[in-house]
Amino acid sequence: MKRKFYNFKSKVSKADYEERIAFGQSLRTRRRILDLTQEAVADKMGITTTAYSKIERGESGISTTRLKQLADILGINAPDMLTEIPVNNMLMRDIFLEIISMNKKIDTLSHYIAAEKPAEYRTADTPDSGA
């Protein structure tokens, strides 16, 4: 007899459950890379934040229509979402997300520094501070 795992009200096999979890982790990583909130993605999909959160946590499946819609929002092909190797290593994913966050802070700081430079040190690509 095939062992069943209960996922709230629906029964799913262990393999299906693990695939949903891996898919959800992959979605979460892509969403964070794009600096999108769950609420923003859910709004673009026309679903509630709770419904989208359940997809990311593996508590709910996703229809092919919603999969295509989600792929468009995340800027990837729908088939690639299903065949791409999910990011399962939590440490590597956390490091990657931290690097992205640091790069954003560096960009912000470099714009601030560029705006503070005296005019004679500015180059053509330096943002003008409006002075």
Do 20 and 74 sit in the same domain of this protein?
A: yes
Parallel, antiparallel or unpaired: strands 10-13 and 4-7: antiparallel
CATH of the domain at 59: 1.10.260.40
Q: Are residues 66 and 117 in the same domain?
A: no
Q: pTM of this prediction? A: 0.57
Reference 23, options 57, 53, 47; nearest CA is 57
Q: Note whether 35 and 70 are same-domain residues.
A: yes
Q: What is the pLDDT of residue 41?
A: 95
> What's the domain range around 117?
89-131
**Is 17 a residue whose pLDDT tops 60?**
yes
Residue owning tokens 């600096």: 35
* Residues 13, 73 within the same domain: yes
Please tell me the predicted confidence (pLDDT) of residue 59: 87
Amino acid, res. 10: S
Q: Return mean pLDDT, the chain.
A: 75
The strand pairing partners of 5, in sequence order, are 12
Which DSSP symbol is given to 11?
E
pLDDT of 54-106, one tens digit each? 999 988 888 888 888 998 898 887 777 766 544 455 556 666 667 777 878 88
Residues 69 and 23 in one domain: yes
- 21 and 81 in a common domain: yes
Q: Among the residues of 1-131, which ranges form H helices?
A: 14-33, 38-45, 49-57, 64-74, 78-83, 90-116
